[in-house]
Amino acid sequence: MKKTIAAAALLLCIQPIFAQRPPSISSPEVNTDNSVTFRYYSRTAQKVTLRGEFLSGPVALNKDTSGIWSVTIPQVKPDIYPYSFMVDSVEMADPNNTNIFANERFKRSIVDIPGDQPMLHALQNVPHGKISYRLYTSKTLGTTRQALVYTPPGYNPQSATKYPVLYLVHGGSDTEETWTKVGRANLIADNLIAQGKAKPMIIVMPYGNVRPKPMPDFTKDVVNDLLPFIESNYNVLPGSTNRAIAGFSVGGGQTLNIGLTNTDKFAYVFSYAPYTATEEFQRNFSNWSPDAAKLNQQLKLFTISVGTEDFLYNSVKENIAMFEKKNIKLKTHIVPGGHTWMNCRLFLGNSLQEAFK
* Contacts with 85 (C-beta within 8 Å, 6 or more apart), sequence order: 38, 40, 48, 49, 50, 51, 61, 91, 92, 93, 94
Task: Determine if 57 is a binding residue for a copy of itself (CB under 8 A).
Answer: yes
Binding mask 133-152 for a copy of itself (x = CB under 8 A): xxx--------x--------
- DSSP-derived secondary structure letter, 223: I
Q: What's the closest the beta carbon of residue 239 comes to a copy of itself, in angstroms?
A: 25
* Contacts with 119 (C-beta within 8 Å, 6 or more apart), sequence order: 78, 79
- DSSP-derived secondary structure letter, 336: S
Nearer to a copy of itself, 235 or 241 (CB): 235
Q: Which stretch binds a copy of itself (CB under 8 A): 130-138, 198-206, 258-266, 286-294?
A: 130-138
Torsions phi, psi for 276 (to 5 deg):
-125, 10
Tell me the C-alpha to C-alpha distance, in Å, between residue 211 and each of 62, 143, 189, 218, 282: 42, 12, 30, 10, 20
Q: What's the closest the beta carbon of residue 277 comes to a copy of itself, in angstroms?
A: 5
Single residue of 30, 100, 237, 322 touching a copy of itself by CB under 8 A: 100
Binding mask 287-326 for a copy of itself (x = CB under 8 A): ------------------------x---------------
Chain positions 220 to 239 lying near a copy of itself, rule: CB under 8 A, are none
Task: Determine if 357 is a binding residue for a copy of itself (CB under 8 A).
Answer: no
Helix extents (H) in 171-301: 178-181, 185-194, 216-220, 227-233, 250-260, 279-285, 292-298
Task: Determine if 13 is a binding residue for a copy of itself (CB under 8 A).
Answer: yes
Task: Determine if 157 is a binding residue for a copy of itself (CB under 8 A).
Answer: yes
Q: What's the closest the beta carbon of residue 301 comes to a copy of itself, in angstroms?
A: 27
Torsions phi, psi for 8 (to 5 deg):
-65, -40
Nearer to a copy of itself, 63 or 299 (CB): 63
Q: Which stretch binds a copy of itself (CB under 8 A): 98-106, 291-299, 321-329, 349-357?
A: 98-106
Positive or negative torsion for Cα 284, 344, 312, 82: negative
Q: Which stretch binds a copy of itself (CB under 8 A): 92-100, 286-294, 317-325, 347-355?
A: 92-100
Please choose, from the candidates 160, 321, 169, 300, the residue with its C-alpha nearest in 3D space to the C-alpha of residue 239: 300
